[in-house]
Structure 1
Amino acid sequence: MGGNGSSGHAGEKRPNEQLGSWFVRSGWSKGELARQVNRRARQLGAHHISTDTSRVRRWLDGEQPREPIPRILGELFSERFGCVVGVEDLGLRQTRQSAAGSGVDLPWAGPQTIGLINEFTRSDLMLSRRGYLGTSLAMAAGPALIEPMQRWLVPPPAQPAPQSPPVPVRREQRLSEPELELLEHTTVMFRQWDAQCGGGLRRKAVVGQLHEVTDLLQEAHPEPIRRRLFTVTAELAELAGWMSYDVGIQPTAQKYFVLALHASKEAGDKAFGAFVLSKMARQMIHLHRPEDALELVHLAQYGSRDGATARTQSMLHAVEARAYANMGQPKQCHRAAKMAEAVFAEVEEFEEAGAREREPDWIRFFSEAELSAETAHAYRDLAYVAGRSHTYASLAQPAMEKAVDLFAEECASSEQGHHRSYALNLVGMATVHLLQKEPERCAARTVEALEVSRRLRSERVNNRIRRTAANAGREYGDVAEVVDLADRLRKALPEDPESMVLAG
C-alpha cells in the first residue's frame, strides 16, 4: 500500500463530491487521470507513485491520497481549466510544505531572502529536465496571495527578528566594479534573448546565474555593492519567473516573482517592485483571476507613485485596463486605457531630453507597439467577456493592426527585435478577425504567427496558436483556409500533451 500514495480509514470515507465535480467536468476517464498522475510523478522523481483506475475510484469515493498526489491533482486540474484549482478546492487535505515550497507568505528580511532564493534555484536546477518543481509548490490566489504582497509596502524594522535560521555571512569579499558591471550586463543580455527567442531556451541559464549571485550575497559587502547585488538578484528572479510563465510552469513562475519582489525591497527599488507586481498581475489574468490582478496592479501603482517613470506608469495603467476588461467593466477599462495613452504621451517629451538613456533597461521594452498591443488585447478580452461584442472587437482592431505593423517593422530591421511579442500579436489579430466572423483573415494571421514561432521556444505562443486554430476549426471547419491551417499546424506544431497549458 505504500507505493500508491494514499491513506485513510474505510469506515470514515464519504464520496468526495468536490473532486468528483472537477473530474466530471474535465472529461477525463479514470485511466487518463491515473496516467497523467503517474507521468507527472515521474517528472518529479517520485517513482514510487503507481496509480491505476481503482485508486482513482477510491479517491472519488473519499480516500485521502498522500503527498505528492494532492498537489499533482491540483496542478493537473489547474492546467486543464486554465484557472487556479487549489488542493482544498478538490476536497483534499493540505499538507505541510518545505521552506522552498511554502507558498508566498515569506519573511521580509535580507538573509532569509538570500537563503530562500539559493535553495529554490538549487532545487530548480536539480529537479527534472523540464524544470518542474510542480507538486512541491501550489499556486496562491485571493487573500492568500494579496495579503502577503501588501507587506511589500511596510518598512522593515531596524533589526528584524529572523523567522528562519540566518544565512551565515562569510568573510568580506572584494567584488570589483568591472565584475559587478558584467553581472548587470549579463542580466540585460538574458532579457534580450528572452524577447527574441522565448523563455524555453535560456531559462536554466538564468536560474543558474541567479543561484551564483545569491552565493555572492552570502559574502559581506559594502552597502552600495550589496544593494546593487540585490538589484541584479531581483531582475534575474523576475526574468526566471517570466520565462517559467512563458513555458507554462505557473507555480514556479509565481514563486520566482515573489522572491523577486523580496529582493527588490532589499535593493530599495520600488519601481522595479511595481514591475514585478505587474508581471504577477499578468499571470493572474492568464489564470482567469482578474480581481487578484487588479489588486496587484493597484498595489504596484500605490507603492511606486513617487519613483516610477512615465513609461512605467503607462505600463501599469495598461495592465489595469486588461484586468478591468476581464472583469467585464468597460467604463473602467476604457478609462485605464486612456490613462495609459495619456501618460505615454509624456514619454516622447522625456525622450527628446535624453531621458530614455536614464531609464532602467527592464522598462525599455514598453514601446508604442507594446502600448498598442495592451490596448488591443484589453478591448479584445472585453469583447469575449461581453459575449463576442462586435463593438469592442472594432475598438481592438485598429490598435492590434498598429501593434502588428510596428513589431513587424522592428523585427525586420533588427535581429534583437521582440519576435515573441510579434507572434503573440499576430495571434491576437487572428482572434479579432474570428470575433468579426472573418475566418480567412483569421487563418492567414495564424499562419504568419506560426512562421514567426519557428524561431521561438515559447509554449505560451504555441498554445495560443493551437487554441486559435482550434476555435476557428470549430466555427468554420468547412472553410478552405481554416482546413489548410489545421494541416499546417499538425505538421509544424504537433501537440505535446505533457506541456499543454491553456493560454489566456
Structure 2
Amino acid sequence: MDGNRESAEKRPNDHLGSWFLRSGWSKGELARQVNRRARQLGAHHISTDTSRVRRWLDGEQPREPIPRILSELLSERFGCVVSVEDLGLRMHHQAPSVSGVDLPWTGPQTVSLINEFSRSDLMLARRGFLGTSLTLAAGPALVEPMQRWLVPNPGGTAGTGQAEVIRVDRARSVRLSGPELDMLESTTRMFRKWDAQCGGGLRRKAVVGQLHEVTDLLQESQPSRISRRLFRAAAELAELAGWMSYDIGLQPTAQKYFVLALHAAREAGDRPLGAYVLSSMSRQMIHLGRSEDALELIHLAQYGGRESATARTQAMLHSLEARAYANMGQPNKCHRAVRTAEETFADCTPGDGDPDWIRFFSEAELHAENAHSYRDLAYVAGRSPTYAHLAQPHMLQAVELFGREVSQNPTSHQRSYALNLIGMATVHLLQRDPEQCTVLATRALDVAQKVRSERVNNRLRKTVDRAVRQYGHLTEVASLAENLHRLLPDSSDVTPAAV
C-alpha cells in the first residue's frame, strides 16, 4: 500500500526530461554544470552526481537552490526563459520584494527596495549569486506590472514618495547643494562612458555602490527639486547597473535593476527616462527569445514618451520595434518600423536637448539596429538571402562608422564595434561566404579580448559554432574555432546571447 502511494506521488518528470533530452547533455555533464554553478553561487554544500540527476528525472523534487540553477542553466542553453515551473519543479516561495517585479509604486518603498537590493549585490559579490533568490519574469507577469508606471500619482507628476518628502522637508534644511548634485550626475555620465569602452564586467560594482549611496541620500529629507534629481540619478544608475548585469550574463539581476529603475524614473517624473528603461528591458526580452514581450514593452515606452521624448529617443524606440517584429517573423511591420526610425532620426539635431543616456544612439547605432533587424528576419525566414541582402549595407555602414570611431579613439565604442563585426560575419555566413565570415570573426575576436562583455563573447561563440557546423572542413574555419577556444575558454560557464 505504501509502495503504491510512493509510486503515485513520484512519477517520472516528463517536463524536465524533455528539456534535458533536447539540451544534448549527458547526466554527468548536467551534474558537473550544476556543481560548477553552485560553487559560483557560494553553495559549496551541493555535490551532484549522475545518480542524483537520474532521481530528478524519475520525479524527485530537488531542494533549493537546485531548481533555480536548473532553470538558469537551461535558459542559457536555449536562449529563452525556462522557468522552474516549465521544468515540472516546485519553486520555494519568495517575498515579492526579493523575487518579483510586481512592486509597490511608492517613493519610500522604491528607495527601500533599491537600497536593499544594491546592498545585497555588493555583499554577495559572486557571479550569479543573486540568481538563487531571483527568477526571470516574462509574459503578463512582467508586462502588466510595468503598465502601472503611467498611472497618475495622487499629488503631482512625481511619485507619492516625493510628496511625503516635501511634507517632511518643511521642518528641515537642504542636505545637498547644486554643485554636489552636478558632480553626482557627472559621475553617472563617466560610468556610462566606461561601460561603452570596457563592457559591463569591469565597473559594475562601482555603479552599484554609487546607486546604494544615492538611496542613502534619498532616505534623508530633501526638498522636492532635490529629491526629483536624486530619483533621476537613482533611475539612471539602476538602469546602468541592469545593463551591465545583462552584458555579463546576470539576467535575473539585470531585470530586477531595470524594474527598480523604472520605479525611480516614475518618482522623478521623467517619462522619457522611463521609456529608455523599458527599451533596455525590451532588448533583454529579445535576447531571451521573448519577442512578443519585447514588443509590448516597446509600445508601452512609445506611449509613455510620445509627448516628451526627443526625436533621437523616438528613433531608437522605432528601431527596437523593428527588431521585435523581425523576431516575430513579421516583415512588413519590420520594414515599416525601420523606415519610421530612419525618418525620425533625420529630425535629430545636435542641440535638441538630448539627455546623456540617449546620446549613444548615433547614425552608426541606427544602421546597426536596422541591420540586425534584417539579419534576424533572415534567420526567422529560414536563412533568407533576400533579408540577408537587406542587412548587408546597413551592417557595413555600422562597421565602417564604429571602426572609424575606434581608430580615432581606441577606447571608444569597442564593444559596439565588436558586436557589429560579429553581425557582419553572420550576414556573410547567411550569404554562404565562409571566408569573409572568418575574416570578420577573427577581427571581432581581437576586439573581444579588450572588453569584458559576455554578450560579445557569446555572440562570437554562437557565430563560430554555426560556421563550424556548415564549413568545419575548411582550414580557416577550423583554425578560427581553435583560436576562439584557446583565447575565450570556458564557454559552458557563460550565457549564450541571441545572435
On whether the aligned pair clears a TM of 0.5, the verdict is yes
Instruction: Name 2:98's counterpart in structure 1.
Output: 101
What is the count of residue pairs matched by the alignment? 486
- After superposition, residues 228-243 of structure 1 pair within 5 angstroms as 228-243=229-244
- The answer as to whether partners of 2:174 and 2:223 remain within 8 angstroms in 1 is no
- Cα distance in 2 for residues equivalent to 1:374 and 1:147: 27
Give a deviation string over 1:267-319, Cα, whole Å, max 9, x none.
00000100010111111111111011000000000011111000000000000
Structure 2 counterpart of 1:489, one-letter code: L
- Cα distance in 1 for residues equivalent to 2:300 and 2:294: 10
1:34 to 2:35 alignment:
no
Change (3 A) 1:304 1:20: same
- What is the CA distance between 1:448 and its match in structure 2? 0.9
- What is the CA distance between 1:60 and its match in structure 2? 1.5
1:380 to 2:381 alignment:
no
- After superposition, residues 62-211 of structure 1 pair within 5 angstroms as 62-158=59-155, 174-211=175-212
- What is the CA distance between 1:125 and its match in structure 2? 1.1
- After superposition, residues 353-368 of structure 1 pair within 5 angstroms as 354-355=351-352, 358-368=353-363
Give 3-state SS (helix, strand or coil) of 1:65's partner. Answer: coil
- Cα distance in 2 for residues equivalent to 1:94 and 1:157: 36
- What is the CA distance between 1:10 and its match in structure 2? 5.9
Instruction: Name 2:312's counterpart in structure 1.
Output: 311
- The answer as to whether partners of 1:419 and 1:452 remain within 8 angstroms in 2 is yes
Change (3 A) 1:10 1:210: farther
- The answer as to whether partners of 2:41 and 2:127 remain within 8 angstroms in 1 is no
Change (3 A) 1:86 1:275: same
Structure 2 counterpart of 1:316, one-letter code: L
- The farther-off stretch of 333-342 and 148-157 is 148-157
- Cα distance in 1 for residues equivalent to 2:262 and 2:293: 17
Structure 1 counterpart of 2:43, one-letter code: A
Instruction: Name 2:247's counterpart in structure 1.
Output: 246
- Cα distance in 1 for residues equivalent to 2:467 and 2:49: 36
Give 3-state SS (helix, strand or coil) of 1:85's partner. Answer: coil
- The answer as to whether partners of 2:153 and 2:160 remain within 8 angstroms in 1 is no
1:438 to 2:439 alignment:
no
- The answer as to whether partners of 1:43 and 1:128 remain within 8 angstroms in 2 is no
- Cα distance in 1 for residues equivalent to 2:94 and 2:121: 16
Instruction: Name 2:50's counterpart in structure 1.
Output: 53
- What is the CA distance between 1:62 and its match in structure 2? 1.6
- What is the CA distance between 1:127 and its match in structure 2? 1.5
- Cα distance in 1 for residues equivalent to 2:288 and 2:418: 21
- Cα distance in 2 for residues equivalent to 1:318 and 1:48: 47
Structure 1 counterpart of 2:113, one-letter code: L
- What is the CA distance between 1:9 and its match in structure 2? 5.9
- The answer as to whether partners of 2:459 and 2:496 remain within 8 angstroms in 1 is no
- What is the CA distance between 1:481 and its match in structure 2? 2.3
Change (3 A) 1:46 1:490: closer
Instruction: Name 1:473's counterpart in structure 2.
Output: 468
- The answer as to whether partners of 1:45 and 1:128 remain within 8 angstroms in 2 is no
- What is the CA distance between 1:155 and its match in structure 2? 1.2
Instruction: Name 1:3's counterpart in structure 2.
Output: none
1:501 to 2:463 alignment:
no
Give a deviation string over 1:359-391, Cα, whole Å, max 9, x none.
100000000000000010000000000000000
- Cα distance in 2 for residues equivalent to 1:326 and 1:429: 18
- Cα distance in 2 for residues equivalent to 1:68 and 1:331: 44
Give a deviation string over 1:207-256, Cα, whole Å, max 9, x none.
11111111111110000000000001000000001101100111111111
Give 3-state SS (helix, strand or coil) of 1:346's partner. Answer: coil
Structure 2 counterpart of 1:375, one-letter code: N
- Cα distance in 1 for residues equivalent to 2:443 and 2:369: 20
Change (3 A) 1:494 1:37: closer
- The farther-off stretch of 414-423 and 276-285 is 414-423
% identical equivalent positions: 71
- What is the CA distance between 1:486 and its match in structure 2? 1.9
- The farther-off stretch of 485-494 and 244-253 is 485-494
Give a deviation string over 1:66-88, Cα, whole Å, max 9, x none.
22221111111111111000111
Structure 2 counterpart of 1:404, one-letter code: V
Give 3-state SS (helix, strand or coil) of 2:129's partner. Answer: coil
Give a deviation string over 1:35-80, Cα, whole Å, max 9, x none.
2222222322223333322222222122222222211111111111
- The answer as to whether partners of 2:286 and 2:498 remain within 8 angstroms in 1 is no
Given the alignment, which residue of 359, 367, 371 partners 2:366? 371
Give a deviation string over 1:88-142, Cα, whole Å, max 9, x none.
1111123211454221100011111111111111111111432531121000000
- Cα distance in 2 for residues equivalent to 1:499 and 1:375: 27
- After superposition, residues 386-465 of structure 1 pair within 5 angstroms as 386-465=381-460
- The farther-off stretch of 38-47 and 376-385 is 38-47
- The farther-off stretch of 19-28 and 274-283 is 19-28
Give 3-state SS (helix, strand or coil) of 1:129's partner. Answer: coil
- The answer as to whether partners of 2:422 and 2:440 remain within 8 angstroms in 1 is yes
Structure 1 counterpart of 2:55, one-letter code: R
- What is the CA distance between 1:154 and its match in structure 2? 0.8
- Cα distance in 1 for residues equivalent to 2:337 and 2:453: 29
Give a deviation string over 1:437-483, Cα, whole Å, max 9, x none.
01000000111111112211111101111111111111111223212
Instruction: Name 1:264's counterpart in structure 2.
Output: 265
Give 3-state SS (helix, strand or coil) of 1:80's partner. Answer: helix
Given the alignment, which residue of 11, 14, 27 partners 2:11? 14
Structure 1 counterpart of 2:258, one-letter code: F
- List, as ranges, runs of 4+ consecutive aligned residues in structure 1 with deviation greater than 6 Å: 159-162
- The answer as to whether partners of 1:372 and 1:400 remain within 8 angstroms in 2 is yes
Give 3-state SS (helix, strand or coil) of 2:80's partner. Answer: coil
Give 3-state SS (helix, strand or coil) of 2:127's partner. Answer: coil
- Cα distance in 2 for residues equivalent to 1:101 and 1:27: 33
Give 3-state SS (helix, strand or coil) of 1:202's partner. Answer: helix
- Length-normalised TM-score, structure 2: 0.94
- The answer as to whether partners of 2:40 and 2:128 remain within 8 angstroms in 1 is no
- The answer as to whether partners of 1:153 and 1:303 remain within 8 angstroms in 2 is yes
Give 3-state SS (helix, strand or coil) of 1:39's partner. Answer: helix
- Length-normalised TM-score, structure 1: 0.93
- Cα distance in 2 for residues equivalent to 1:45 and 1:494: 22
Structure 2 counterpart of 1:195, one-letter code: A
| Structure 2: gaps (5+ residues) | none
Change (3 A) 1:20 1:11: same
